[in-house]
Structure 1
Amino acid sequence: MSNKRIRILDVPVDMVNTGEAMDIFRELMKSPECSLIVTPNSEIIVNASQDPELKGIIEKADLIIPDGIGLVYASKIMGMPLRERVTGIDFLEQILRYLEETGQSIFFLGSKPGEGNSPSIAEAAAQKMKEKYPGLQIAGTHHGYFREPEESEIVERINGSGADFLCVALGSPKQEKFVFRHQEMLNVKGAIGVGGSLDVWAGTLKRAPEFYRNHGLEWLYRFIQQPSRYKRMAALPLFMIKVVISRIRGGK
């Protein structure tokens, strides 16, 4: 499948709106192989420009949605404007609706394990989404606190669940590298990295109110909630500075 792509800091991003991204997703779900969907924001683009492994993974992804208002601004500076931001968590909800309609199943992988009798974040998120989409088939869940030697066992568990699609919430770049490392062994038709989406669904992390989302200020809301993220927040101004310099130099 050939998607029209632009390059921001020499990292590819698909020029798609939400409807077009879903059209591509539906086609990917017809393939017997595991397709990789990545959801880069400004921070991930900066990291990819400095991490050849992550950049290589994004280059080979089947769908690269522009999850971040910074990418929309940057694309305008580059002279190839993206039509809209396609947020990862909203796109994933569209995927859940599609899976509910088709009767296909999903596996939730990531975030913290449960403590005592409390469910893990993945289990809590699965329960919330099951309540919201009663017909959704949850094939299984697993927390994200595992070591690399345990990964083959995790892959076997995912495959054994019969899941059609995999949601990976390990944070970037760990989630992208996990899927890419096991892509040929995974029996799912597709996988997406979704960062903190499971925490939002489980209710342990509040999503920014609509005002912040509509004005591209989700990063500010996250900073208010988690001041410890200040080093990560610095990625946004750094990203815009790099984009402007790249444009002045005539680069991508």
Structure 2
Amino acid sequence: MSQTQREDGIGQVPVTRILGVNVSKLDMAGTVKVLERAVASGKPHQVITANPIMIMAALESEENMRAMREAELIVPDGAGVVWAAEELGDPVAERVAGFDLLHELMKRGEQLGWTAYLLGAAEEVVQEAASRLQKQYPKVRIAGVRNGYFGEAENAEIIGNIRQANPDLLFVARDAKTQEPWIARHKHELGAAVIMGVGGSFDVISGKTKRAPVFMQKMRLEWFYRLAKEPSRLPRMMALPRFMQKIKKVKKSVK
């Protein structure tokens, strides 16, 4: 059933509820407008780019579910999330892929003079990603760069560096288990208005890996392309059939 979620700084956001997670129904253009208001507000907004694996992780981890519930905006990144919304009779406007949203925000930042900070991935990857983004979007100042290999003991230093840089956009690329919970725990300390987990986006931007061909994205087979390229992802992918089973069960129960 469709709902409207009130979020501080960004106004009304129509959402669809998928296994207890409120997913935005906005299209890409609407999402960018909402996040433009978030930047203008100056208040921290966590953006989660949700896929079925992340939703299943939230069902199995209280910390991950808390991050989902406290996030200011959750967008339907995964094709499976778009499918689930359709199955449950309350579809989203379109898939809002995190990789594409990152670039759309950088485009808007070109027009409005925003700053960005990149946190995560290996040192050579994040440095190359920052270099390429700076060339592609020269009017967005890359205010800082830091790799994602750090522990709790380094949190204070890293948070202090980000606060000093004072970015409008903070893109975080860490492993699936720590990315969203880390942002949720520290978003009020970081000083950025839009804080978005971007997974493997820096790897693609830097040229380390390639994104699925457009025709596979349109066919909702990007997950299959990634699995073919990285067979080690298979254990994680086992969450997909369990996600589908849960959606089918919910659909059957509401008929």
- TM-score interval, normalised by the smaller of the two chains: over 0.9
Instruction: Name the structure 2 match of 1:237.
Output: 241
Does residue 227 in structure 1 map to residue 231 in structure 2? yes
Deviation at 1:134, TM superposition (A): 2.2
Q: What whole-Å deviation, never above 9, does each CA across 1:99-141 have from its counterpart, x for those lacking one? A: 121111100000012xxxxxx2111101111121222210010
Instruction: Name the structure 2 match of 1:25.
Output: 35
Instruction: Name the structure 2 match of 1:141.
Output: 145
In structure 2, what is the Cα distance between the partners aligned to 1:6 and 1:177?
22
In structure 2, what is the Cα distance between the partners aligned to 1:180 and 1:242?
26
Instruction: Name the structure 2 match of 1:186.
Output: 190
Does residue 174 in structure 1 map to residue 178 in structure 2? yes
Deviation at 1:53, TM superposition (A): 1.8
Deviation at 1:32, TM superposition (A): 2.3
Does residue 54 in structure 1 map to residue 58 in structure 2? no
Does residue 161 in structure 1 map to residue 165 in structure 2? yes
Q: What whole-Å deviation, never above 9, does each CA across 1:64-99 have from its counterpart, x for those lacking one? A: 110011111111111111121010000110011111
Instruction: Name the structure 2 match of 1:91.
Output: 101
The count of aligned residue pairs is 245
In structure 2, what is the Cα distance between the partners aligned to 1:104 and 1:22?
13
Specify the SS of the correspondent of 2:142: strand
Which gives a bigger RCO, structure 1 or 2 (Cα 8 Å, sep 6+)? 1
Given the two structures, how large is their TM-score scaled by the length of structure 1? 0.93
Instruction: Name the structure 1 match of 2:5.
Output: none
Match of 2:113 among 103, 107, 120: 103
Specify the SS of the correspondent of 1:135: coil
Deviation at 1:159, TM superposition (A): 1.1
Instruction: Name the structure 1 match of 2:3.
Output: none
Deviation at 1:173, TM superposition (A): 3.8
Paired letter, 2:94: E
Does residue 70 in structure 1 map to residue 74 in structure 2? no
Counting aligned pairs with the same residue, the percent is 35
- Asked if 2 retains the 8 angstrom alpha-carbon contact of 1:24 and 1:63, the reply is no
In structure 2, what is the Cα distance between the partners aligned to 1:137 and 1:195?
22
Q: What whole-Å deviation, never above 9, does each CA across 1:177-209 have from its counterpart, x for those lacking one? A: 111111121111120001000010011111111
- Asked if 2 retains the 8 angstrom alpha-carbon contact of 1:171 and 1:194, the reply is no
Match of 1:216 among 211, 215, 220: 220
Q: Which runs of 4+ in 1 moved over 2 A?
A: none
Paired letter, 2:163: N
Instruction: Name the structure 2 match of 1:117.
Output: none
Given the two structures, how large is their TM-score scaled by the length of structure 2? 0.92
Unaligned runs of 5+ in 1: 114-119
Q: What whole-Å deviation, never above 9, does each CA across 1:23-74 have from its counterpart, x for those lacking one? A: 1111111112211111101111111122222112111211111001111111
User: Which structure's residues are more often strand, by fraction?
Assistant: 2
In structure 2, what is the Cα distance between the partners aligned to 1:48 and 1:12?
12
Instruction: Name the structure 2 match of 1:132.
Output: 136
Specify the SS of the correspondent of 2:102: helix
In structure 1, what is the Cα distance between the partners aligned to 2:131 and 2:94?
31
Paired letter, 1:222: R
Match of 1:203 among 181, 203, 207: 207
- Asked if 2 retains the 8 angstrom alpha-carbon contact of 1:107 and 1:165, the reply is yes
In structure 2, what is the Cα distance between the partners aligned to 1:66 and 1:89?
12
- Asked if 1 retains the 8 angstrom alpha-carbon contact of 2:126 and 2:202, the reply is yes
Paired letter, 1:101: Q
